[in-house]
Amino acid sequence: MSVTQTLATIAQTLPDGAGVDDAQNIAAAQGAGMAYGLAAIGPGIGIGYLVGQSVQAMARQPEAAGMVRTTMFLGIAFTEALALIGFVVFILLKFA
């Protein structure tokens, strides 16, 4: 359900006393939840694949484990940044 649909539904179902602010807050909360949920999909797959491949590399060549681990953390840091930007968007939508 999109945010505008939600707004319409909420506007119909809210009691008369409730203002536009309440409807906006609810829509913002829904948008925030969806923003973070969607932002977490890609990095989740990415980090899983990355760590899996790193474990495989370390198992195949244990003497290169140090180098692989450092590169793995670097890759995780870059991949995870997307999810974290999603989290910041969540905070901005929900609270700002």
Measured CA to CA, the distance from residue 75 to residue 54 in angstroms comes to 10
Q: Which is nearer to another protein, 53 or 70 (CB)?
A: 70
Task: Report d(CA 76, CA 44) in Å as an integer.
Answer: 10
At residue 11, what is the residue type?
A: A
Binding mask 53-92 for another protein (x = CB under 8 A): -------------xx--xx-xx-xx--xx--xx-xx--x-
Instruction: Answer yes or no whether residue 40 interacts with another protein by CB under 8 A.
Output: no
Helices marked H in the chain: 3-13, 20-60, 65-95
**Interaction between residue 18 and another protein (CB under 8 A):** no
Which stretches of the chain bind another protein, using CB under 8 A? Answer: 66-67, 70-71, 73-74, 76-77, 80-81, 84-85, 87-88, 91, 94-95
